[in-house]
Amino acid sequence: MTEFDILVDANQVSPLSLAYIGDAVYELYIRSYIMHSVNMPVAKLHKAATKFVSAKSQSKIYHMIKDSLTEEENAVFKRGRNAHSYTSAKNADIVQYRIATGLEALIGYLYIKKDTERLEQIISMCIHCAESEE
């Protein structure tokens, strides 16, 4: 066991904490995908990432993948979406922001459960959906 092992029951973690870790996990996967897909300066890499990681984009992506989610995953998404956050997105409305929070909570949940296979399936769906929006 190391200090990086997460030894908690994902069902006992608050939805905003799930979204907090999910945001970081999602961002890391997206940045890795973009960096391996294109060769460009960091400023352009950051701009390219926004089509995947902005609340507005994540809201659109969720609507495209929601039918692929299990009942358990939908329940986690709803916990995240319905959690009352004291922050809001700069470039999205409150509905989009809450949907994005729900998606991030789901990603955090799968990460904490160490369900890497399903986590990567969902992130792959997110990438495919964002790419198809171009």
CATH number reported for the structural domain that contains residue 90 in this entry:
1.10.1520.10
Is 4 within a domain?
no
Is 63 within a domain?
yes
Give pLDDT tens digits for 90-101.
778 889 999 999
Locate 96 and state its tokens: 């989009």
Measured between alpha carbons, how far is 124 from 134 in angstroms, rounded to an integer? 16
Exactly one of 23, 67, 93, 115 is catalytic; which is it?
A: 23
Does 23 participate in catalysis according to the annotation?
Answer: yes
> Which pLDDT does position 5 carry in this prediction?
66
Question: Which H, E and C letters describe 16-48, residue by residue?
Answer: HHHHHHHHHHHHHHHHHHHHHHCCCCHHHHHHH
pLDDT of residue 39 exceeding 90: no
Classify burial at 25, counting beta carbons within 10 Å of its beta carbon; exposed 0-12, middle 13-18, buried 19 or more: middle
Q: Give me the number of domains the chain comprises.
A: 1
Locate 129 and state its tokens: 């959906």
Is 2 within a domain?
no
Locate 21 and state its tokens: 């870790």
Average pLDDT of the chain to the nearest whole number? 89
Enter the DSSP assignment of 86: S
Is 59 within a domain?
yes
> Which pLDDT does position 32 carry in this prediction?
92
Give pLDDT tens digits for 99-121.
999 999 999 999 999 999 999 99
Alpha helix (H) ranges present in 85-115?
A: 94-112
Q: Quote the percentage of the chain above a pLDDT of 70.
A: 93
Q: What's the domain range around 52?
A: 14-132
Enter the pTM of the model: 0.90
